[in-house]
Amino acid sequence: MGYSLLFVLLLLSIFIKLCLAISLPPIEEQERDKITHLPGQPKNVGFAQYSGYVTVNEQAGRALFYWLIESPASRGPESRPLVLWLNGGPGCSSIAYGATEEIGPFRISSDGKSLYLNPYAWNNLANILFLESPAGVGFSYSNETSDLYTAGDQRTAEDAYTFLVNWFERFPQYKYRDFYIAGESYAGHYVPQLAQLVYQKNKGVQKPTINLKGFMVGNAVTDDYNDYVGTFEYWWTHGLISDSSYKMLQMACNFGSSQHPSMQCKEALRDAVLEQGNIDPYSIYTRPCNDTASLKHSLGGRYPWMSRAYDPCTERYSASYFNHPEVQKALHANVTNIPYSWKTCSGIVGDNWADSPLSMLPIYQELIGAGLKIWVYSGDTDSVVPVTATRYSIDALKLPTITNWYPWYDNGKVGGWSQVYEGLTLVTVTGAGHEVPLHRPRQAFILFRSFLENKPMPS
């Protein structure tokens, strides 16, 4: 009798282990990821939110953190497209910037505890999926510490693709839905690279699960040669540097012929930055937030003028909010108790960035040829990846013009300018800095709506 009981218990323990080993069905996984309420969230929020982890590499234990914010129920989320948003750095969090400073429905109050609504949130037009990428950024993690020191463009794209494949299994209702990728700054690399990977994997597939329709990037790192030329020209034409510094930069900086600038170029850049003085380079006409040590974006090795991060005082609110244990619990975040606090940008990931091609233009040519919808926008008061750099990069594609440069309007006022090329639309947003939706939320909303509807900017 004792033996049979022991046998039953043994079978029971094997059964329990097998049950634990089997992953939950998608609907149960979704329910597990559903956010019931965020601390400090306003009342009567009319949209569903989900967040959690998707493993992208079992062996290394790499898992990426996502936050899905659906369209309000009143706007029919089931019929709206899905948009993946990525921030750059490399090493900066899409939760810190995209979700809570730019296009998400919530803004964080200065107390670092409460949230208030953004009337121009992009989830009014689409279901928005924010991803902290690569592993080591924000809540995304790896069990192999070396992964944080060896991140680069290729692995970031591959992991993001694996994330999407696995995420669509968890959220099958989004399979075959119109899908777009958007982002800014160094996501000028992430976005086209991921779009290229999705496009190539979809080739020959009758009805692809990831139904990629196009992409959109803002103030995007695109092509080293044109980024250097256009940036120095912007500094000079906007009166930020002297004639002699401009000439020295043109002479000393070899404009993207190698991954890292020469010592002579670095010295010229240092002198130019000193001449610019205490401005916010990410938004040259707004006051810098002086009473905090500026965070460091990690592009400093490749683009030394980018080493001063954009800090309009909002970054510290997110650092405060997302480090609250109850916020992490509500988001199903930090489940492994990562041994460091959540940061808006990871210096380790960015400072040790491994691979970064000099140009994205060949990818643009491939995807324009594939017929994807591609929009590039630029806030015109950003001196870090300025509008001149973007215009030089697009000019290098030698695309035929369909609609020449024209002003677009919002309520009778010029909101910026646009030019429509064969296969690509360029839009500028007047008075906007590096983070266009932060500085010009209404105009950015109009831009996003026009992109989704594939209509030219209102003239």
Predicted pLDDT of residue 261:
79
Q: Give 293's pLDDT tier (boundaries 50, 70, 90).
A: very low
Q: Confirm whether 382 is a catalytic residue.
A: yes
- pLDDT above 90 as % of the chain: 80
Beta bridge partners of 421: 401, 424
What is the model's pLDDT at position 315? 77
Q: Calculate mean pLDDT across residues 334-343.
A: 90
- When pLDDT is cut at 50, 70 and 90, the band that residue 207 belongs to is very high
CA distance 392 to 223: 9
Judging by DSSP bridges, how do beta strands 106-108 and 115-117 pair with one another? antiparallel
Amino acid 306: pLDDT: 55
Query: What is the structure's pLDDT at 17?
Result: 42
Greater confidence, 281 or 217? 217
Reported as a pLDDT band with limits 50, 70 and 90, residue 244 is: very high
Burial label for 151, CB within 10 Å (0-12, 13-18, 19+), is buried
Question: pLDDT-derived band of residue 258, with 50, 70 and 90 as boundaries?
Answer: low
Per-residue model confidence (pLDDT) at position 310: 43
| pLDDT at residue number 120 | 97
How many other C-beta atoms lie within 10 A of the C-beta of residue 142? Answer: 22
- Out of 33, 224, 382, 410, pick the active-site residue: 382
Residues 6+ apart with CB under 8 A from 115: 38, 40, 41, 42, 106, 107, 108, 109, 321
- pLDDT of residue 8 exceeding 60, the answer is no
Give residue 110's pLDDT.
87
Show the beta-strand stretches assigned E in 211-352: 211-218
Output the pTM of the full model.
0.91
Average pLDDT over residues 79-91: 96
pLDDT in the model for residue 236:
98
Residue that has been written with the tokens 């309000």 in this structure: 72
- Rounded to an integer, what distance in angstroms lies between the CA atom of residue 394 and that of residue 378? 12
Q: Of 346, 364, 445, 419, which Cα lies nearest the Cα of 132?
A: 346
Q: Is 133 a catalytic residue?
A: no
Q: What was the pLDDT predicted at 217?
A: 98
> Structure tokens of 12?
């029971």
Beta-carbon count within 10 A of 114 CB? 16
106-115, 189-198, 214-223: least confident range: 106-115
Q: Which amino acid is residue 210, in one-letter code?
A: I
Q: Give the model's confidence band at 312: pLDDT under 50 very low, under 70 low, under 90 confident, else very high.
A: low
Q: Tens digit of pLDDT for each residue in 356-401? A: 999 999 999 999 999 999 999 999 999 999 999 999 999 999 999 9
- Specify the range with the lowest mean pLDDT, choosing from 81-95, 112-126, 187-201, 291-305: 291-305
Q: With beta carbons less than 8 A apart as the criterion, state whether 208 and 177 touch.
A: no
Q: If 0-12 CB within 10 Å is exposed, 13-18 middle and 19+ buried, where does residue 25 land? A: exposed
Q: What is the mean pLDDT of residues 281-307?
A: 60
Tens digits of per-residue pLDDT, 164-177? 999 999 999 999 99
Q: Given this model, what pLDDT does residue 7 score? A: 55
For residue 4, name the pLDDT band (cuts at 50, 70, 90).
Answer: low
Phi/psi of residue 429, each to 5°?
A: -120, 115
Asked whether the predicted pLDDT for residue 333 surpasses 80, the reply is: yes
* For range 72-82, the mean pLDDT: 95
Spot the catalytic one: 51, 142, 185, 378: 185
pLDDT of 122 over the 90 cut:
yes
Residue 414, φ and ψ in degrees, nearest 5: -65, 125
Nearest CA among 283, 251, 265, 259 for reference residue 383? 283
**Residue 25 — very low, low, confident or very high, per pLDDT cuts 50/70/90?**
confident
Q: How distant, in Å, are the alpha carbons of 123, 194, 372, 418, 425 from that of 212?
A: 18, 10, 8, 24, 18
Q: Which residue has the higher pLDDT, 170 or 262?
A: 170
What residue ranges define each of the domains in the chain, with the CATH number in brackets?
A: 25-224+357-453 (3.40.50.1820)
pLDDT in the model for residue 316: 83
Tell whether the model's pLDDT for residue 20 goes beyond 60: no
Tell me what the pLDDT averaged over the chain comes to: 90
User: Residue 111 catalytic?
Assistant: no
Q: Does 182 score more than 80 pLDDT?
A: yes
Q: Which of 189, 297, 434, 439 is catalytic?
A: 434
Q: How far apart are CA 316 and CA 300, in angstroms?
A: 21
**Of 299 and 348, more confident:** 348
